[in-house]
Structure 1
Amino acid sequence: MELAVGASEATMRSLLGKLGNLLAQEYSLVSGVRGDIQYINDELASMQAFLRDLSVVTEGHNHDNRRKDWMKQIRDVAYDVEDCIDDFAHRLPQDSISDAKCSFILTKMYELLTWWPRRDIASRIAELKVRAQQIADRRNRYGVNNPEHCDSSNSPRPRAHAAAQDIAEYQDTKPQIVSIKEPVGMKTVMENLEKWLTEPQPDKGRAVLSIVGFGGVGKTTIAMALYRKVSGKFDCQASVAVSQNYDEDEVLRSILNQVSKQEEAGGSTESSSRDENTREPQGSSSTSSREENTAESGTKRMLNKLKKALPLSLLGGNDDKTSVRQQETMGSLQLREELKRRLAEKRYILLIDDIWSAKTWNSIIIPFLPSENDKDSRIIVTTRFHAVGSTCSPRHKNDEATSSPGHGKDLLHKVDFLTGDKPLDLFNASIPDPMKRTDRDKKLSKICGGLPLAIVTMAGLVACNPNKANSDWSKLCESLFPYPVTTLNLDGVTRILDCCYNDLPADLKTCLLYLSIFPKGWKISRKRLARRWIAEGFATEKQGLTEEEVAEAYFNQLARRNLIRPVEHGSNGKVKAFQVHDMVLEYIMSKSIEENFITVVGGHWQMTAPSNKVRRLSLQSSGSKHGNSTKGLNLAQVRSLTVFGNLNHVPFHSFNYGIIQVLDLEGWKGLKERHVTEICQMLVLKYLSIRRTEIAKIPSKIEKLEYLETLDIRETYVEELPKSVGQLKRISSILGGNKNTRKGLRLPQEKRNKAMKNPSPQGKTKEPAEKGFLSQEKAKGTMKSLRVLSGIEIVDESAAVAASLHQLTGLRKLAIYKLKISEENDTFKELLSSIEYLGSCGLQTLAINDENSKFINSLYNMSAPPRYLVSLELSGKLKWLPEWITSITTLNKLTISITVLTTETLEILRNLPSLFSLTFAFSLSAAKQDQDTVKGILEDNKLATDGEIVIPAKEFKSLKLLRFFAPFVPKLSFPDKSAMPALEIIEMRFQEFEGLFGIEILENLREVHLKVSDGAEAITKFLVSDLKDNTEKPKVFVDGIVTA
């Protein structure tokens, strides 16, 4: 196996940059230390070159163990040098005399005041120099020779110049829809399994389908496809991943949350319906932490534990409904009882994914199932082990269901490797269409032994090496498997993953290994990952591209290589969320352990405690034992901390606040106000996420985090930022508010005294009543790096804030979640002026939710259009469409109020060349306030064109996604098949709908998604029935369930 060098090489590159900056500081270094730093810099540069050579050497070379040990020493000394430099940076004054022309006296004063910290650091650097010398000597002493480059034909690895071109190649990818993948070559099998799941059994009892097969063979894909198709025929449904190491409470709570949400919505909900490639991960539901205050008495702790241990019935918890908050504090006994009660009288379907032991089934799943349920309920189970499948489905025989008195029928289905032409069909389907099909494809698909995971991964390798000769691919096949391959074992899978991993450039290796931070089966946000890559220094400015563009290029290449699986798309056509296949995650986890790159505690992994110092720590919920799981670990060098799930305790006291750069506490309900105060001491922090926590206030001391780049406080109780946030010079993203509830985050403004607010006799104010957060003396000239300002609230009193937006000339995204201003107020004019100015500076995304004022209609009067816009969202009572929209050739995503839905509006928009998605929306809450008015506007709109909205023929050439989200949707008609020729998906959410006609003639339409209320069932049934008559019918999803 090749040495894992990606992360080490990236660390070295970052470190060399820091050393160069340190050497440039003329006055900061003690005499003699500059030579030591220069020596360390030169040694590490040579070591980096050695690592880069190793990254292109394939397996089969000698001295692997010696090289691995030598690399480990390089990595450790590099980490220690980096810690020393960062400590140096925050212990010495930032505004030192090296930043200005200073007198001799000031120079001496600086040297005197910083003498002790500089001497301490000088001593540490001297020690590190000795270690670097010893590592260099040890290499020669034990014969760690330079690697010899092998024949390039044995590896598709791109050379250095080609790797550089990859960034530009993958930076700009065409927007696309993430399609729902169906199991390949299993049409008949799927139909039989679907029939078994839906047909009533003679005794109406519960029945279990166990899907058994080797890892990567497609068990979860089959299970999710079945679950998605049939779950609409059941009263309630839930899916959850269990895996090898699980948290019992979290598994039960996840199921209960899904079931209870459906009850509250009166049936299945969109949130409970998932893409077939996703699984309900452990801890994904919002759960409260059970961390206890240190001052809590022993009696109180004992009472809390007793409450969790007692059945719910003894605690008066038998109300018809329990709140989400109550569910979060329930113990396992209470959760089981509540699930039994809710499922007792329902026909339910459950998907339990990835069970590893019969004990899990008998001790976790069986206890919460109602003992008597004659509703024809079903359970789908996936497992790698036949014995476990037999335990879950005890009444089966050779894949044929057998009955048992008083119970339903069980079925055990074994998923075999692909045979015949199926491997080649899957291979061809997994590479881009323009690529030429050759004999190479047949050879490569054959060595994958019929394993779908291996096939799609190898196809990704081919997709990223389109110019490689067929003869080279043949040599690669022979080097991987000199003997014929019938079926693939674990070693064979590892060989193929090795080949694909070795082909990655060093930067991409690092980015891939970083995914091992996330729990097994986790749905990962693309934007969250990109921001973290940037904060870690993995994605830096390169070839004229920004950090964000480089991160996007890296992500696109991992997706094209099929090393990650997109599972959710945004309305702009970009991937919104993705997952990593379990076997790929296990592979990169082993690589991360080898490099001491990531340390995972808890979760699905059973890792031994590392002997090395922990650098990047991922704490994952794994049950009640988690609280002691960090014992014995050296956490003093942790630079990145991520928390997942319902943890009892996070050892903040064990961390060195001076070196933590990434702190991701999203969803951790144990976060307290005192923790946030401590976070303000993490002086080199770059990424801070406390999203979906219960924090209500950000301390003013946040100004100390001068390196902070991302502040994510969405879906918290924080209503206003402190004034000191304006002093964050490096901040690039401020994310706040709640998009679902339209709750906004207020930006700070400085109140003036009352005397200044009193008007003069002429009726004019002498001075503004407030100052904006960028108008303060300390904040002037700051926040020039801000690129994203999302989720803010603007009200009448925000005139100073609106005016301050002028200064954010680097802003690329502005999202206003709540707007409540009057037309005669100064705020109205200041905000319009700021938006117009920012539009000329490069604003790419503008979103305004205006339910209570007339501001969005004033955008019509803008003198100059925001010509760089890529995404525009205008929500509220929009009276007319701004004419300047037609001049924005870059517009990719447009969301506008349904109040302007007319045939004329569609005629205006038809010629936008880049428009990928078009949404007409109106929030339910706004419609309730003025229901008759909104409905009247829609009636007038359709009467202008003979009672229907007509989609114009031709044009809309790039549009692939059309959406209508509103309480009332008028009649829509597609009279010509040339209307929206590229359209792939129509999504609709409504209470009243008058019909959708002509969609059967749309040649590229693949899916129609309907989210309906009870009152709209008739039109839904009509639409579904109409589409069933079409031989080339699109799939119709009603509330996330396939119905046609």
Structure 2
Amino acid sequence: MADTAVSFVLDQIYQLVKEEGSLLKGLGNDFSDIKHELENIKAFLKDAHRRAGDEGEDNNEGIKTWVKQVREVSFCIEDVIDEYIMDVAPRVNHHPPCIASLQKIAHQIKTLKSRHRIASEIKDIKSEVQGIKERSERYFQSSSEDGESSNRRGAKDFKWGDPRMAAHFIEETEVVGFELPRDELIGCLIKGTNQRSLISVVGMGGLGKTTLAKHVFNNQLVKKHFHCRSFITVSQSYTVRGLLIDMIQKFCKDANEPIPKGLHEMDDNTLITEVRQYLQTKRYLVLFDDVWKENFSDDIEHALPNNKEGSRIIITTRMMPVAEYFKKSAAVHVHQLQHLSPNKAWELFCKKAFRFEPTEQCPTDLEDMSQEIVQKCGGLPLAIVSIGGLLSTKEKTMFEWRNVCQNLRMELERNAHLTSITKILSLSYDDLPHNLKSCMLYFGIYPEDYSINRKRLTRQWMAEGFVKNEKTRPMEEVAEEYLTQLIHRSLIQVSRVGFDGKVKSCQVHDLMREVIIRKMKELSFCHLMQEDDELDTVGITRRFSIASCSNNVLRSISKLGIRAIYVFSKSELPKDFVGRLSSKFKLLKVLDFQSTLLNYVPNNLGNLFHLRYLNLSHTKVEVLPRSIGKLLNLETLDLRQTHVHVLPREINNLTKLRLLPVYYRKYEGQYSMLNFTIGVKMHKGIGCLKSLQKLYFLEAEHGGLDLMQELKMLKQLRKLGIRQVKTEYANALSSAIGEMTHLESLNVGAKAENEIIDLNFVSTPPHLRVLNLKARVTKFPEWIPKLNYLVKLRIGLFNLEQDPLDSLKDLPNLLRLNMWDDAYVGESLHFKRGGFPRLKELDLTRLSKLSSISIDEGALLRLEHFRFKDNPQMKVVPHDLKHLKSLQFLGFADMPAELVESIDPAKGGQDHSVIKHIPLVLIRQNVGPKFHDYELRPIPT
């Protein structure tokens, strides 16, 4: 993290010297000197982090102290730079030259005191940085020798006490929950093709990958099937040469053959040839355990011949890219190892916690507490074994059990039985590149068991400056790639996936979160504020995560370096909470109040000049102050599900604003397609928001044709939602959308059901992926079937008399289709053979005249979810549903009683056979006036 802090500060200094050099007035040289010193210090940091974590280092405490000093001085430099930009650097103005010159002189006089203060601070920092550099020589003079010794290592030999060693010596009788994956892997090894192939076991640390692979490797059927076998522990540090020597020695030992002479004296080519010749006529099995390097297959590819004898390679890894990289040279079977089921987790816990009891059974009085402990382990075998082992040494009393359960975080740090958990889980974090370490630490900011929205998380990363700005693609894509890397490294668990396969939300395993919280504390990354926690007792930190608020929560005035505050409290916030926050933490970049009871934003919000991310979504806020126009660095303003329906005119000053989601959905009432969502009114001048990429929902009626003209200037828009559109706006809106060449999502709603909105484009939006049109049309839009990238289409109120499916059936990437509210007013729909080749979800809602559906064999081959809602004329279930072999879910909501009864076996339903192949069939019935007032009833299949 210190290297991250230094890198971040170096970038800031570079930009400051480049952009504000003429304004530094003597400070420029000092900034440059600090920059050069930090560049030298940065070179030591990678080795410093490695050695600080090496328990064998005699001076590691000194190294840790040095790293801490580097981090803290980096924080100080960042603070000074941000204070300079906020207090000293003049704002952009558009006055005539003579007035601008006078204003510049007045500004310099006004900021003279701030300049002197900053100059003094810079001098002090420069001196401190030089001292830190000098002290570094004390700890790193032997770095080159360490590097040379590490380069001589081959396959990794574990040190005594390495917690990973235990997995190599677990008895078969101690293994629980691996029966199915064991049999699957054995089948992959001894059956199938004669071509060389690879089996990869992928999963997070502590999941039992080595245990599983070792028992498969030693299985008697496997031993008999292969001529020779070799088990190699790879780990992070290895050389190819040492690995090959180790491999052939173990092959020879397994086959009871003599080891070739002179292995250590062979050059690399001779060594590879020796291995290949030895294996050329053999059916071999090699297991590479704990692989971290993505292109590992390149290192061993030439030594392992594809001799068509049915040879196999097994790898265990925490990183999916390692497995995928092998695909260029071999057939790969990936087994993603899952967490233990609750039953198996309980079985394993009892084996460990009560192993010295006669029955290995949990006493009745400890059962509830034991279940709670097992639940905390989250199906992670390492945690269950370690905590069960600890409890086996304790008295079997409620007091002892509760003490461990309630103090698990402290026990993980200090108890010898549990240190293996933190060590093994920390390996994955320690292996991350520095930019991903900061992203990973963010998961500790959120409360335990919190399902974290992908967009919210990645936007926070961007606001913090963790995401590299690449000119060739949007920052959102880069941020999502970071998240994908963390998922592929088995650090993050996916909670929810959208219909298009994209991650919707994610979370971190509870024990991994404990490791992260420990890291956050060590690195001054974030302080978790609990009830009655006084800020006066908090050391240096960059962020606050506030789980509960008291009147004293912002008492401290010394924490000026805070960069982000997140509030998760569900209770009433103290009066003027945001006002005091805005006056004391002026360097804030991230401020998140999502789903709190915040109901007021004060006028002094404009103090937060550096603010980049402001999340007020799902709060009770109704009005934004005019001072929001002073937040010139704001990039994200999230106002979803608030009662903000008019934005102040000053919002148009925010030329860096990129994301503006603002709407309110009326879940408390009955659904109405055109009035379910309330958007926002904006004043003339929104054309100044040239950085805007997402804007939804905009009220078109407020601004009318003038607003349509201004939309033309928003050429960076990727997502646009606009409602209350009138017929006379259609041409102007079409023209504006035609200028948005990056547009990926478009949502257009008419003011009333009789408004005709025919959108006609000179050229179709080339990248459109999501389209939602709610308005009458004179004919089906001819440009929709040309949207080759379209994945989601929702149409409503079209009043089409001809079946539109013929026009849509060949869309190559369409995954989701919704036809709602008389989009089609015919009586029948026909899904033709070969149509909709990739469609996964289909929804037909409130089509008032639809009475029948026919589905050809070979149509809708990938359909998984099919929903019908409130189609009053459809009284017979479509018999062609039996053709849909991929269907996983069928839903009927507010459908005629005749149809429901016909598929219900409890009521003698004659058409039950039509749906019996579908795993889940649900009947939904409204029971009240509100959107969520309904009951669900499954139909047995």
TM-score range, shorter chain: 0.5 to 0.7
Cα displacement string for residues 525-571 of structure 1 (whole angstroms, at most 9, x for unaligned residues): 11111111111111122372321110111122223333323233334
8 Å contact from structure 2 (residues 818, 842) kept in 1: yes
Equivalent residue, structure 1, for 2:516: 588
Whether the 8 Å CA contact 2:730–2:758 is kept in 1: the answer is no
CA contact (8 A) 1:848 1:856 kept: no
Alignment partner of 1:637 is 2:542 = no
CA shift, 1:575, in A, is 1.9
Deviations for 1:433-483, whole angstroms, at most 9, x for unmatched residues? x999646639997555579xxxxxx999979937447989999999xxxxx
2:651 is the counterpart of 1:725: yes
- Partner amino acid for 2:132? I
Cα separation, 1, equivalents of 2:739 and 2:506: 36
Residue 601 of structure 1 aligns to which amino acid in structure 2?
Answer: M
Structure 1 residue runs of 5 or longer lacking an equivalent are 157-414, 452-457, 479-483, 750-771, 775-780, 923-933, 943-947
2:901 pairs with one of 1018, 1022, 1026: 1018
Aligned partners of 2:767 and 2:186: how far apart in 1?
A: 39
Q: Answer yes or no: is the 8 Å Cα contact 1:427–1:441 preserved in 2.
A: no
Does 1:126 pair with 2:123? yes
- How far did 1:743 drift? 3.4
Which residue of 2 is the match for residue 837 of structure 1? 739
> What is the aligned partner in structure 2 of residue 27 from structure 1?
22
Secondary structure of 1:695 counterpart: coil
Over residues 911-956 of structure 1, what are the superposed CA-to-partner deviations in whole Å (9 max), with x where a residue is unaligned? Answer: 111222222223xxxxxxxxxxx4xx85x512xxxxx322111142
Structure 2 residue aligned with 1:659: 587
Deviations 1:394-443 (A, max 9, x none): xxxxxxxxxxxxxxxxxxxxx994143446759999xxxx9996466399
Aligned with residue 544 of structure 2, among 592, 609, 617 = 617
Task: Give 1:891's match in structure 2, choosing from 787, 790, 814.
Answer: 790
Contact 1:971 1:996 in 2 (8 A): no
Letter in 1 for 2:764: P
Aligned to 2:87: 91
Change (3 A) 1:634 1:416: farther
Structure 1 Cα separation of the partners of residues 290 and 28 of structure 2: 46
Q: Which of 837, 860, 865 in structure 2 is aligned with 1:980?
A: 860
The corresponding residue for 1:815 is 721
Secondary structure at 1:978 match in 2: coil
**1:828, CA displacement in angstroms?**
4.5
Q: Which residue of 2 aligns with 1:371?
A: none
Moved more, 726-735 or 1019-1028: 1019-1028
Q: Is the 8 A contact 2:87 2:114 kept in 1?
A: yes
2:881 to 999, 1002, 1007: 999
Which of these residues, 703, 716, 727, is aligned with residue 629 of structure 2? 703
SS of the residue corresponding to residue 680 of structure 1 reads: helix
Within the candidate set 512, 518, 530, 2:458 is matched to 530
Q: Is the 8 A contact 1:747 1:801 kept in 2?
A: no
Change (3 A) 1:871 1:124: same
- Bigger radius of gyration, 1 or 2? 2
* Matched-pair contact (CA < 8 Å) for 1:641–1:664: yes
**Where does 1:166-185 land on structure 2 (aligned, <5 Å)?**
none
How far apart in 1 are the matches of 2:22 and 2:187? 62
Does 1:40 find its partner at 2:69? no
Q: How far apart, CA to CA, are the structure 1 residues paired with 2:142 and 2:912?
A: 68
8 Å CA contact retained: 1:951, 1:972:
no
Amino acid in structure 2 at the alignment position of 1:532: Q
1:964 corresponding residue in structure 2: 844
Deviations 1:851-910 (A, max 9, x none): 615556411x33332222111111244553211112221212111127567884222112
How many residues in Structure 1 have an aligned counterpart in Structure 2? 704
User: Do residues 693 (structure 1) and 573 (structure 2) align?
Assistant: no
Equivalent residue of 1:858, what SS?
Answer: coil
Q: Distance in 1 between matches of 2:852 and 2:492?
A: 38
Q: Which letter does structure 1 place at the counterpart of 2:179?
A: G
Residue 76 of structure 1, CA deviation: 0.9
> What do the CA deviations read for 1:631-679 (whole angstroms, capped 9, x no partner)?
679533211011113234465536634200101111221x343x43222
Cα distance, 1:972 vs structure 2: 5.7
Structure 1 residues 857 and 820: CA distance shift in structure 2, 3 A: closer
Q: Which amino acid aligns with 2:484?
A: N
CA deviations 1:958-991 (Å, max 9, x no partner) are: 2222223437583564644421222233244436
- 2:462–2:475 Cα contact (<8 Å) kept: yes
Contact 2:495 2:505 in 1 (8 A): yes
| Cα pair distance change 1:59/1:974, threshold 3 Å | farther
Please name the residue that 2:831 is paired with.
951
> 3-state DSSP class of the match of 1:658?
coil
Cα deviation, residue 804, structure 1: 1.1
Letter in 2 for 1:836: G
How far apart in 2 are the matches of 1:15 and 1:637?
14
| Partner SS state of residue 504, structure 2 | strand
Q: How far is the alpha carbon of 1:607 from its aligned partner? A: 12
Aligned partner of 2:570 in structure 1 is: 646
For the 8 Å contact 2:803–2:826, the answer to whether it is kept is: no
* Equivalence for 1:921: 820
For residues 91 and 967 of structure 1, do their structure 2 counterparts lie closer, same or farther at Cα, with a shift above 3 Å needed? same
Distance 1:503 1:101, change over 3 A: farther
Query: After the TM superposition, which residues 299-310 of structure 1 pair with which residues of structure 2 at under 5 Å, given as runs?
Result: none
Instruction: Classify the secondary structure of the residue corresponding to 1:746.
Output: coil
How far off is 1:593 after superposition? 1.7
Among residues 528, 553, 570, which one is paired with 1:600 in the alignment?
528
| 2:848 counterpart of 1:848 | no
Q: 1:556 to 1:970 in 2, by over 3 A?
A: farther
| Aligned residue in 1 for 2:678 | 744
Alignment-derived partner of residue 134 in structure 2: 137
RMSD: 4.4
The one-letter code matched in structure 2 to 1:738 is Y
Once residues 61 and 783 of structure 2 are traced to their aligned partners in structure 1, the CA distance between those partners, rounded to angstroms, is 65
- Shift of residue 56 of structure 1? 7.0
What secondary structure sits across from 2:494 in the alignment? strand
Residues 98, 36 of structure 1: alpha-carbon distance in 2 compared, 3 angstrom cutoff: farther
* Contact map agreement 1:15 1:82 (CA 8 A) in 2: yes
The answer to whether the 8 Å contact 1:449/1:486 transfers is no
State the SS of the aligned residue for 1:660. Answer: coil
Query: Taking structure 1 as the reference length, what is the TM-score of the superposition?
Result: 0.60
Residues 644, 668 of structure 1: 8 Å contact kept: yes
Unpaired segments ≥5 residues, structure 2? 158-173, 214-234, 236-287, 302-312, 319-380, 387-417, 668-675, 925-935
Match of 2:432 among 476, 499, 504: 504
Residues 428 and 739 of structure 1, relative CA distance in 2, 3 Å threshold: farther
Matches within 5 A, 1:427-438: 438=198
In structure 1, the residue corresponding to 2:660 is in which secondary structure?
strand
Q: Does 1:73 align with 2:1?
A: no
Structure 1 residues 135 and 969 mapped into 2: Cα distance closer, same or farther (>3 Å)? farther
> C-alpha distance in 2, partners of 1:702/1:557?
36
Indicate the SS of the match to 1:807.
coil
- Check if 1:788 corresponds to 2:694: yes
Checking the alignment, whether the CA contact within 8 Å between 2:682 and 2:702 is kept in structure 1 is no
TM-score w.r.t. the length of structure 2 is 0.66
Structure-2 residue corresponding to 1:465: 294
TM-superposed CA distance for 1:18, in Å, is 1.1
Distance change in 2, residues 1:743/1:883 (3 Å): same
Mapped partners of 1:1029, 1:746: distance in 2: 47
- Choose from 446, 457, 480 the match for 1:552: 480
Within 2, Cα distance between the matches of 1:783 and 1:427?
60
Is 1:418 the counterpart of 2:330? The answer is no
Whichever residue aligns with residue 16 of structure 1, its letter is L
Displacement of 1:732: 0.3
* Cα offset, 1:129, TM superposition: 1.0
**Following the alignment from structure 1 to structure 2, what is the Cα–Cα distance between the partners of residues 692 and 104?**
46
The 1:583/1:449 distance shift into structure 2, 3 A limit, reads farther
Of stretches 505-514 and 891-900 in structure 1, the one that deviates more from structure 2 is 891-900
C-alpha distance in structure 2 between counterparts of 1:488 and 1:581, whole Å: 16
SS at match of 1:27: helix
